[in-house]
């Protein structure tokens, strides 16, 4: 049986997404704690559905970088503190997913940047992460963030930065650094964040989701 070109397979998968989309957490190799924030996506999904009636499935999925299941999810979230390693097959799978319409949000939970940036360079050797201007529409969905990302956790006391990989005019990967949105999405007793801090994190997270579904 003749196989269809991979890019056509991606397009056909994208056309049969369910009416109630599901978000996913990316599971990767290398020893980094991809599972670092177990309550964060559940809370973000609940916020998106209650605050903006987005109609997301209430439970998120977990998907491996090299899995064909990756193409079932319009937005995949990646987090952790440590090492990240992609195999050659995973590099190609992730590239095809992102070029074909997928979106990756990488949230540095502290100490992830030095590992994940070189791996993403393997995915898109022709692209570099660029800092998104505060005028970018990802900061101006339902909620306005005129100064860019909110500061959720201090870490090194540096300003939060939002970087993007832009493929043919489309933002395909958003990398949030020195911000730690995922910690702000977690249950309130996990980090002891104030309600105001958690609300800022959830609102920015909902902006990311809405951006992905409307761009």
The predicted model gives 9-13 an average pLDDT of 41
Residue-wise pLDDT for 140-183, tens only, equals 999 999 999 999 977 788 999 999 999 999 999 999 999 989 99
153 vs 33, more confident: 33
Percent of the chain with pLDDT over 90: 80
pLDDT surpassing 90 at residue 2 = no
pLDDT at 136 over 70: yes
Question: What's the rounded Cα separation, in Å, for the pair 184 and 195?
Answer: 9
Q: What is the mean pLDDT of residues 190-204?
A: 91
User: Band of the pLDDT at 215, cuts 50, 70, 90?
Assistant: confident
Q: Classify residue 26 as exposed, middle or buried by CB count within 10 Å of its CB (0-12, 13-18, 19+).
A: buried
pLDDT tens for 90-129 read 999 999 999 999 999 999 988 899 999 999 999 999 999 9
d(CA 210, CA 215): 8
Give the chain's mean pLDDT.
Answer: 91
pLDDT-based confidence at 1, cuts 50/70/90?
Answer: very low
Question: What is the per-residue pLDDT for 3?
Answer: 33
* Domains of the chain: residue spans and CATH: 6-214 (3.40.50.12140)
What is the SS3 assignment for 184? helix
Please report, for residues 64, 65, 90, 111, 135, the alpha-carbon distance to residue 87 in angstroms, rounded to integers and kept in the order given.
11, 9, 5, 21, 36
pLDDT recorded at residue 4 = 33
* CA–CA distance, 185 with 51 (Å, rounded to integer): 14
Instruction: Find, among 84, 166, 167, the residue nearest to 131 by Cα.
Output: 166
Confidence of residue 14 (pLDDT cuts 50, 70, 90): very low
pLDDT value at residue 19: 76
Q: Taking 90 as the threshold, does the pLDDT of residue 54 lie above it?
A: yes
pLDDT of the residue at 111: 86
């Amino acid at each position: 049986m003749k196989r269809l070109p991979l890019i056509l397979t991606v397009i056909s998968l994208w056309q049969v997404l369910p009416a109630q989309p599901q978000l996913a957490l990316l599971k990767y190799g290398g020893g980094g704690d991809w599972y670092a924030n177990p309550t964060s996506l559940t809370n973000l999904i609940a916020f998106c559905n209650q605050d903006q009636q987005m109609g997301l499935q209430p439970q998120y999925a977990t998907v491996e970088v090299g899995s064909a299941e990756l193409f079932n999810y319009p937005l995949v979230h990646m987090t952790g503190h440590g090492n990240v390693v992609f195999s050659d097959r995973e590099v190609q799978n992730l590239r095809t997913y992102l070029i074909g319409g997928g979106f990756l949000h990488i949230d540095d939970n502290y100490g992830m940047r030095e590992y994940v940036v070189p791996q993403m360079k393997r995915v898109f050797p022709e692209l570099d992460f660029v800092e998104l201007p505060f005028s970018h529409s990802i900061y101006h969905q339902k909620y306005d963030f005129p100064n860019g990302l909110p500061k959720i956790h201090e870490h090194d006391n540096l300003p939060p930065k939002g970087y993007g990989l832009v493929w043919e005019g489309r933002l395909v990967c958003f990398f949030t650094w020195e911000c730690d949105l995922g910690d702000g999405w977690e249950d309130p007793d996990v980090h002891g964040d104030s309600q105001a801090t958690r609300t800022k994190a959830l609102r920015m997270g909902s902006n990311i989701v809405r951006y992905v579904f409307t761009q």
